[in-house]
């Protein structure tokens, strides 16, 4: 381990610590669905890294120091200046979070007959595009075992697809890092190649940049050409290949709320600005408070600092090493989160007994841990899918930024040693979305 936390802890929050018996009772009362459990009963909430960062003294001081305004707040100027310097995009608009930017962008651009191509789109972006009448087509690269940039887009396939699409009937979104590709980064070469293809076909290219800073640091550490380049400079080069971006600042912005849309296309900016008045509010505040714009303006710079990013990325890698020592099968190399193959982790549980769900329940009972299932977790069959399983057999552990310490991660790793006694689960009351499903164990915990 070569990192240390680059901060001192100034304020603490006691961890919830219900007993194992209390957690078992809580899980039973929640229908064996960890998503129904109240936050106050969760010791380690690894469901998401979004909006759960610990903010700095500088962010809090700026929030307190600013004054609220709804027409021309001074915080808007700081917000725009920070993002312009960081990204190089001339046109900036604030939103309350990333999916608001997705909604406005696709309501402006998407229409029946439009195709959106992506390495993989996050579910909210996909649904917003589809609700506007567009078709979403994922063109991820072929996964390479141990590959450094498994978040790449398949350029050869994109080239073929764009040849079949009429002019003006496509846009491309690159998600950095790629959530649905196990949080893996996108290489600079891939970004540049995708940009060249888009220019060749006169197709706009946008970035979903929720984790752009982590992606930049992965490039720094996995591509020798960039090992001496600051992450901010790498990010600036990344941005130069795009026509625009949208971002939830709740990840790499180190904030609890907020986001933005940025572009170099004046026509798209104008359409976005007009539409957001009816959805988010005035273009000078975008549905968030002045104090939150101040937090974003500072958080973006703190989140792109090399010292911070070294701690962030290496703590994720170290957590992965802790889990591997406990015999936990996970996606490697570790990206922006930990993705665990639950079907392989629990070989004694048939896949039709939902090993990902069973593992999640056990993590809560034994350690007060909540994590996340991937999509379609309830769609399983009885075939042997342990070696090359579908995504529904994975769980994701996301580490909130500047929130948990190394000792917390070591403790979480120790909980996995008890996995051999885990029982499978079955559906008791089905639901369209796993948040509302009610399950029951095959045998008592």
- pLDDT per residue as tens, the chain (445 positions): 567 899 999 999 999 999 999 999 999 999 999 999 999 999 999 999 999 999 999 999 999 999 887 677 889 999 999 999 999 999 999 999 999 999 999 999 988 999 999 999 998 999 999 999 999 999 999 988 889 999 999 999 999 999 999 888 999 999 999 988 899 999 999 999 999 999 999 999 999 999 999 999 999 999 999 999 999 999 999 999 999 999 999 999 999 999 999 999 999 999 999 999 988 888 888 888 999 999 999 999 999 999 999 999 999 999 999 999 999 999 999 999 999 999 898 988 888 888 999 999 999 999 999 999 876 544 545 455 544 556 678 999 999 999 999 999 999 999 988 776 788 888 887 766 667 788 888 876 5
Helix segments in 174-247, DSSP class H: 188-200, 212-222, 231-240
C-alpha span between 221 and 34 (Å, rounded): 36
C-alpha span between 207 and 320 (Å, rounded): 27
394 SS3 class: strand
pLDDT of residue 273: 93
Residues 6+ apart with CB under 8 A from 307: 6
In whole angstroms, how large is the CA radius of gyration of the chain? 22
| Beta partners for residue 248, in sequence order | 259
Task: Name the residue among 329, 382, 360, 331 with its Cα closest to residue 434.
Answer: 360
Cis? peptide before 333, omega within 30° of 0? yes
| Beta partners for residue 262, in sequence order | 92, 245
185 SS3 class: coil
Report which secondary-structure segment, H or E, holds 263.
strand 259-263
Task: Name the residue among 238, 311, 247, 217 with its Cα closest to residue 102.
Answer: 247
DSSP assigned state of 371: -
Helices (H) and strands (E) in the chain, counts: 15, 14
C-alpha span between 264 and 275 (Å, rounded): 18
pLDDT of residue 229: 98
C-alpha span between 102 and 98 (Å, rounded): 6
C-alpha torsion 36→41→43→47, nearest 10:
20
- 422 φ/ψ angles, rounded to the nearest 5 degrees: -75, 140
pLDDT of residue 172: 97
């Amino acid at each position: 381990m070569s990192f240390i936390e680059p901060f001192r802890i100034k304020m603490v929050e006691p961890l919830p610590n219900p007993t194992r018996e209390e957690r078992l009772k809580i899980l039973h009362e929640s229908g064996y669905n960890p998503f129904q459990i109240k936050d106050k009963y969760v010791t380690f909430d690894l469901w998401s890294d979004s909006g759960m960062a610990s903010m700095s003294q500088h962010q809090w001081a700026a929030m307190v120091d600013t004054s609220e305004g709804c027409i021309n707040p001074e915080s808007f100027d700081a917000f725009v200046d920070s993002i312009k310097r960081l990204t190089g995009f001339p046109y900036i608009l604030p939103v309350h979070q990333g999916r608001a930017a997705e909604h406005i962008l696709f309501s402006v651009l998407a229409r029946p007959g439009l195709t959106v191509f992506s390495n993989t789109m996050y579910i909210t972006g996909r649904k917003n595009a589809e609700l506007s009448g567009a078709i979403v087509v994922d063109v991820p690269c072929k996964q390479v075992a141990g590959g450094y940039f498994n978040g790449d887009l398949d350029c050869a396939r994109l080239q073929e697809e764009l040849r079949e699409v009429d002019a003006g009937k496509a846009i491309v979104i690159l998600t950095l890092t790629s959530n649905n590709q196990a949080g893996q980064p996108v290489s600079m070469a891939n970004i540049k190649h995708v940009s060249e293809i888009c220019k060749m076909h006169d197709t706009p290219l946008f970035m979903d940049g929720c984790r752009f800073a982590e992606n930049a640091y992965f490039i720094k550490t996995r591509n020798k050409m960039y090992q001496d380049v600051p992450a901010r400079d790498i990010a600036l080069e990344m941005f130069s290949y795009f026509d625009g971006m949208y971002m939830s600042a709740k990840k790499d912005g180190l904030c609890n709320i907020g986001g933005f849309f940025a572009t170099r296309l004046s026509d798209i900016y104008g359409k976005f600005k007009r539409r957001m008045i009816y959805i988010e509010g005035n273009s000078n505040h975008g549905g968030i408070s002045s104090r939150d714009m101040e937090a974003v303006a500072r958080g973006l710079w703190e989140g792109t600092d090399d010292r911070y990013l070294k701690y962030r990325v290496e703590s994720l890698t170290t957590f992965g090493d802790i889990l591997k020592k406990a015999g936990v099968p996970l996606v490697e190399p570790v990206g922006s989160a930990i993705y665990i193959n639950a079907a392989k982790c629990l070989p004694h549980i048939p896949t039709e007994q939902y090993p990902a769900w069973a593992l999640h329940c056990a993590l809560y009972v034994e350690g007060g841990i909540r994590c996340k299932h991937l999509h379609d977790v309830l769609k399983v069959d009885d075939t042997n899918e342990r070696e090359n399983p579908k995504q529904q057999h994975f769980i994701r552990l996301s580490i909130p930024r500047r929130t948990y310490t190394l000792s917390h991660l070591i403790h979480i790793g120790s909980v996995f040693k008890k996995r051999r006694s885990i029982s499978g689960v079955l559906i008791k009351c089905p639901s369209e979305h796993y948040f509302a499903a009610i399950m029951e164990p095959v045998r008592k915990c």
